[in-house]
């Protein structure tokens, strides 16, 4: 049997791991052999088949995004555009009565993942647990869809934790503006069956690059039976469970009304708090009791600071939760797929909420994006550069003038860096991006198709809004267009994206 090739990577700065924490090597080296890291440090003594010198760059562990956008993000449509309920971002009673339908074809559903996964790799994310929106689906995600998504992830080389999202209910809007729930228990349980089938068939596939996960939609859209069966299946399969909760006052009020308990107490009652549970977003909690529930159970929180800050909401606070021993992972949850931006904004927000800079450091956020994400997944071979770890490695250029004079590469990147400062990415020992180019992806064609598909998504909003208004009336640009929208030129970017 032929021995795997040894490839050595060099950079002016290398983030190693000493067994308990990240450490910085100046003029460092990383040697990989197959899918594993063989050496981190300086002066590797053995033979190497190929050396690659990245020069003035930070070579570090790949980022782990556990609420990674797998979609064409539609939040740009909601920015400064009034109440989301008036623009088809929620099912209307009228839409529900006529029968919900898919906004995309099967191929379009799969394409959105190709587009999103490419963006993740471009931003230095090497492990992702994707999230998409259910409001424009007929119901939830399907086995066949995710079988195709697994192939896309493997083709691009992205390490993913996948499974079709499932739910047993959907909230909808009545004509009088009040909210109601539509429940379909059999459909929810069938969705869990599909998720179990996916896990059993795909967990560990493509050389271990694809792993399974149980991904119920949100705590308020799942019945007790669905969550109880999820908890039992997680135990049986040793599968991670991600469940969105504690993300809004309306959710908390609704769960208390439906279940008689606040969200985290309800999950505790269902045995859904524990080391395999990863919960976005944990913002609206019931004080110290909930912090104790999270810490004592070993549950991890996925912190997504940017998407909540856009609506004036924030965790109170990152430092306070960490001081109680709660493990944090990071997520993007929205466009752009830039975890550096989430670190920067998250750090600023945490200090504003805490009223000072003592409780949270830049390193705390970097740790959350690496070691914290790995801990949430139960993986001691991810999120670090150390002998024996998987060779998931990112290279961030330090040459950009926007970074300013360098003192500490990590601080400079968190203060001024961008996701696209990532110039190379290695996942499982395979170089999946070089010089900012993801292997095998035509960026111009990808963007053109995404723009066309996004236009179709915009049109679909009218079918969910009461009265099915002209879709163009639902979205208002920041600066009014000088001429009227038309089918020939609905958006100023559509023509340029097609190269016309």
Which pLDDT belongs to residue 48? 97
pTM (two decimals): 0.96
Q: Phi then psi for 30, rounded to 5 degrees?
A: -130, 125
Helices 185-202 and 143-156 pack at an angle, to 10 degrees, of 30
> Prior bond to 63 cis, omega within 30?
no
Q: Rounded mean pLDDT of 183-209?
A: 98
Question: Among 76-85, 208-217, 306-315, 373-382, whose mean pLDDT is lowest?
Answer: 76-85
Q: Over the stretch 93-128, which tens digit does the pLDDT of each residue have?
A: 999 999 899 999 999 999 999 999 999 999 999 999
Cα 333 from Cα 337, distance rounded (Å): 8
Separation CA 47–CA 476 (nearest Å): 61
What is the pLDDT averaged over residues 275-294? 96
Interval 310-339: pLDDT, tens: 999 999 999 999 999 999 999 999 999 999
- List the single range of 29-43, 265-279, 317-331, 460-474 with lowest mean pLDDT: 460-474
Residue 500 has a pLDDT of 34
List of residues 6+ apart from 41 with CB closer than 8 A: 16, 25, 28, 29
Q: What pLDDT digit, counting tens, does each position of 159-171 carry?
A: 999 999 999 999 9
Exposure class string for 373-401: b at 16+ Cβ within 10 A, else e = bbbbbebebbbbbbeebbbbbbbbbbebe
How are beta strands 430-434 and 437-438 bridged, if at all? antiparallel
- Identify the band that residue 304 occupies on the pLDDT scale cut at 50, 70 and 90: very high
Query: Judging by beta carbons within 10 Å of its beta carbon (0-12, 13-18, 19+), is residue 48 exposed, middle or buried?
Result: middle
pLDDT digits (tens, 9 = 90+) for 78-93: 888 888 888 888 899 9
**Count of other CB atoms within 10 angstroms of residue 271:** 16
In this prediction, residue 74 carries a pLDDT of 84
Secondary structure element (H or E) that encloses residue 57, with its range? strand 57-61
pLDDT of 414-455, one tens digit each? Answer: 999 999 999 999 999 999 999 999 999 999 999 999 999 999
Output the six-digit token pair for 32.
């990989």
Please say whether the dihedral angle defined by the alpha carbons of residues 108, 109, 110 and 112, taken in this order, is positive or negative.
positive
CB 397 within 8 A of CB 12: no
Mean pLDDT of the chain: 94
What is the pLDDT, as a whole number, of residue 496? 44
Q: What is the pLDDT of residue 278?
A: 98
- pLDDT number for residue 409: 95
Domains of the chain as residue ranges with CATH: 1-62+384-438 (2.30.40.10), 63-216+439-500 (no CATH), 244-382 (3.20.20.140)
pLDDT at 490: 56
pLDDT of residue 296: 98
């Amino acid at each position: 049997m032929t021995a795997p090739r040894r490839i050595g990577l060099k950079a002016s700065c290398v983030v190693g791991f000493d067994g308990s924490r990240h450490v910085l090597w100046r003029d460092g080296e990383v040697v990989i052999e197959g899918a594993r890291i063989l050496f981190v440090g300086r002066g590797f003594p053995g033979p190497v088949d190929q050396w690659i010198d990245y020069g003035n760059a930070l070579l570090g562990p790949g980022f782990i995004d556990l609420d990674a956008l797998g979609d064409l993000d539609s939040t740009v449509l909601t920015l400064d555009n009034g109440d989301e309920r008036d623009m088809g971002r929620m099912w209307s009673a009228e839409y529900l009565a006529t029968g919900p339908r898919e906004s995309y074809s099967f191929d379009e559903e799969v394409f959105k993942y190709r587009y999103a996964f490419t963006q993740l790799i471009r931003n230095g994310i090497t492990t992702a647990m994707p999230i998409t929106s259910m409001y424009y689906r007929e119901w939830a995600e399907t086995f066949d869809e995710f079988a195709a998504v697994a192939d896309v992830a493997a083709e691009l080389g992205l390490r993913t934790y996948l499974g079709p999202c499932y739910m047993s209910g959907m909230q909808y809007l009545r004509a009088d503006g009040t909210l109601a729930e539509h429940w379909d228990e059999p459909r929810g349980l069938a969705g869990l069956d599909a998720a179990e089938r996916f896990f059993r068939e795909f967990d560990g596939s493509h050389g271990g690059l694809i792993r399974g996960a149980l991904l119920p939609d949100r705590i308020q859209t799942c019945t007790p039976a669905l969550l109880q069966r999820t908890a039992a299946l997680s135990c049986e399969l040793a599968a991670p469970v991600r469940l969105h909760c504690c993300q809004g006052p309306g959710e908390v009020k609704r769960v208390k009304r439906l279940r008689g308990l606040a969200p985290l107490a309800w999950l505790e009652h269902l045995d859904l708090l524990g080391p395999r549970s990863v919960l976005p977003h944990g913002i609206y909690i019931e004080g110290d009791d909930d912090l104790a529930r999270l810490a004592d159970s070993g549950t991890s929180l996925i912190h997504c600071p940017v998407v909540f800050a856009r609506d004036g909401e924030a965790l109170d606070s990152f430092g306070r939760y960490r001081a109680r021993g709660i493990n944090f992972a990071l997520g993007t949850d929205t466009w752009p797929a830039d975890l550096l931006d989430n670190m920067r904004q998250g750090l600023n927000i945490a200090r504003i909420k805490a009223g000072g800079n003592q409780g949270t450091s830049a390193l705390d956020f970097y740790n959350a994006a690496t070691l914290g994400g790995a801990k949430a997944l139960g993986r001691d071979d991810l999120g670090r550069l150390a002998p024996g770890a998987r060779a998931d490695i990112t290279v961030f250029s330090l040459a950009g003038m926007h970074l300013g004079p360098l003192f500490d590469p990590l601080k400079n990147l968190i203060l001024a860096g961008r996701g696209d400062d990532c110039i190379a990415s290695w996942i499982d020992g395979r170089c999946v991006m070089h010089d900012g180019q993801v292997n095998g992806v035509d960026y111009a064609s990808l963007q053109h198709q995404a723009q066309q598909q996004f236009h179709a998504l915009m049109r679909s909003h009218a079918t969910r809004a009461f009265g099915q208004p002209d879709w163009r009336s639902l979205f208002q640009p920041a600066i009014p267009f000088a001429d009227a929208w038309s089918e020939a030129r609905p958006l100023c970017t559509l023509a340029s994206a097609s190269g016309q």
